[in-house]
Amino acid sequence: MKAILKSKEMSIAAIVLLLCITLAFVSPVFLTADNLLDVLKANSVIGILAVGMTLIIITGGIDVSVAAVTSAVCVIIGKLMQVMPDHFLSLLLLFLIAPLLGVFLGAINGLLVSKIQIPAIVVTLGMMSIINGLVLYVTNGVYLNSTNFPKVFINFANFKLFGLPIIILIFVAVALVTWYILKYTLIGREVLAIGGNKESAIRVGINYDKVQIFVFSYMGLLAGIAAIAQTAYTKSVDPNGMLGLELMVIAAVVLGGANIMGGRGTIMGTILGVLLLGIVQNGLILAKIDTFWQKVFTGLIILLAVSYDHIQYRRSQEKLAKIEVEA
């Protein structure tokens, strides 16, 4: 019980709770059911992508192409929906095509990182630039609206269960599945082992290349699912709508306690990081703070949170080193 109370997740949860209480005094609108649902809906796509990013960051990698991959899949499924018949099978086909496209693009990143051993930041920056360029070329920057989308997709986008919109349900499902993979499957344990100590993991027989291909492919899979969620949320496709979103995704994971250098991170922490980021932004909007200052405040909170986490981590490592020396 003491270990749970002292965990990083509990610290973040306490910050989220304190922030909610403060914002409830700042604006009576904050704690209304509609506003809280809006916060969850607005951050569900970031949450889906952040869950996948957690696995990559645990292994010591990073993927800055996630927003570009999601945009590309959004454009492709948007164009497909304009010619698809209004049939339930069309919806099933979208749920097959979108994740497969994401896996394909993610696997390219994974292969380049693992087989050619190009740093992940370089590979994904290149992929981001290529995809963004192609998306703008194909769409000419023009929106795809829902006028020609099948009604079955619009009905899906408006679907609610127990009052929860479909994109929140998708986010919850993705988080639960990924938590299970990380905690109870062999590949999940290999991801954690690579993050903990790459050299030791390789020495005991863990296939480093396989793990890298898996985490980037899984990130692509979730980017495909996020594309469906984004299209359902906006009921349109904006080719430029996700530019810069990768920074918010990475920030959410780091705010959730993951070490940007690898070795540390949890799904629960990431979910709390997404909530923290979403609540901060919502609170700044309700406080009627200018958009420019919203970005400044968000950036400061991220820097302070990461700095505090890094200082705490260094102190724990110094204590551990001191214990080992005395032993």
- Residue 164 tokens read as 């929860």
pTM of the model: 0.91
Select from 36, 52, 14 the least CA-distant residue to 168: 36
| Strand segments (E) across 157-229 | 160-161, 164-165
∠ CA(74), CA(79), CA(85), 5° rounding? 115
Largest CA distance in the chain: 72
Which residues of the chain have a pLDDT value below 50? 2-3, 5
Select from 170, 268, 143 the least CA-distant residue to 228: 170
Which pLDDT tens digit goes with each residue over 272-283? 999 988 888 888
**pLDDT given at position 35:** 86
- The answer to whether 217 and 33 have CB atoms below 8 angstroms apart is no
CA distance 152 to 140: 27
The single-letter code of the amino acid at 304 is L
Domains of the chain, first to last: 2-320 (1.10.3470)
The single-letter code of the amino acid at 307 is S
Which pLDDT tens digit goes with each residue over 49-67? 999 999 999 998 999 999 9
